[in-house]
Amino acid sequence: MRPVVIASANGHQFRNGGPETCVERAFRLMTGPAPRDVLDALVEGVTIVELDPGDTSVGAGGLPNADGTIELDACCMHGPTRRAGAVAALRGVPTAAAVAKRVMETTPHHLLAGEGARRFAEAYGFPVQEDLHTPRSRAILAEWRRRVGEQPAGADEPARWARGYATGARMERDGLIDPNHRWGTIACCGMNAAGDLAGVTTTSGRAWKIPGRVGDSPIVGAGLYVRQGSGAAGSTGRGESNLLALSAFAIVADMGRGLAPLDAAMAALRQVRDDAVDPALKNARGEPNFNVKFYVLSAAGEVAGAALYGGDHVRFAVCTEHGAELRPCEALLDGGME
């Protein structure tokens, strides 16, 4: 088999001051003179993005919830052993993917959440920080709070949350938030020379989310799924849509039945589009007013990136023996989200 690593675009954009991006490090570690396990390599790769202060979609500096606190979700899956681990609503530990992997390795559970996830991480030696904000995320938070305005004590919480979401959307339109980071995540899947498959997702979730909100990233079959012999799929974008459709599972199941990665991804995107029946989720053309993207790897080493909506900024990362590159995602729908 020819080794390959595939990821969302931030997998080949951030280096945290070092020489390698996520996909480059993961590929090197699983193909070097002493090859690392494919999942070990992927987690090492996404850790670069989790710790890079320039990225506002994962780890340290991820965009926060409506209280201004960064809560992280992550999941990992290991194809050969058919094991998985995850954390949700984790506070104080930027390397959520590594914590998820430790859950997989050391417990009989799949998912730990909230305070329990933080205590688990601390028990296994992960440094816990009081504040995961970086100067960049703190500046974005300050501007968001300025635009939202003062909220009196005891203010109506649902109204405050709705105003926070709307303010975040305006900041995106004003160019103050990366359009890929309001629903920020990194998804990364890989296959080594032995054909072993694995995947990992890690995220700070939807910006300005209701505290405690958990998206698709830590849920097996929603934002990530790996099946040895069939393939792997990860996702970024509106997590609630993937939770409803179990999109990652559907893509891998279709590849197991013989569909090519792009065809399987497009079938999942059509399901996401068809499920968006709520008028609040539709634009003026009656199409979804949000984006969902899939990063797909077959057991034969074929890759695809697909999205509801395309464009110059909608890309995915691939690394092979020929090096790393960004490629455009194939789009299901024409036009923009608005």
Distance of CA 295 to CAs 42, 83, 302, 330, Å?
14, 20, 11, 11
Amino acid symbol at 32:
G
Q: Quick one: which of 234, 191, 195 has its CA closest to 215?
A: 234
Rounded Cα distance, 253 and 251, in Å: 5
Amino acid symbol at 198:
A
Give me the residues paired with residue 280 across strands: none
Order of all β-strands in the sheet with 315-320: 111-113, 83-90, 72-78, 197-206, 183-191, 4-8, 315-320, 323-328
Rounded Cα distance, 123 and 112, in Å: 13
- A 10 A CB-CB count for 123 gives 10
Tokens found for residue 116: 């329990």
Rounded Cα distance, 309 and 291, in Å: 6
Would you say how long the chain is, in residues?
338
Is residue 203 part of the annotated active site? The answer reads no
Q: Max CA-CA distance within the chain?
A: 60
Exactly one of 21, 134, 167, 185 is catalytic; name it. 185
Tokens found for residue 230: 């069939």
Catalytic machinery residues: 185
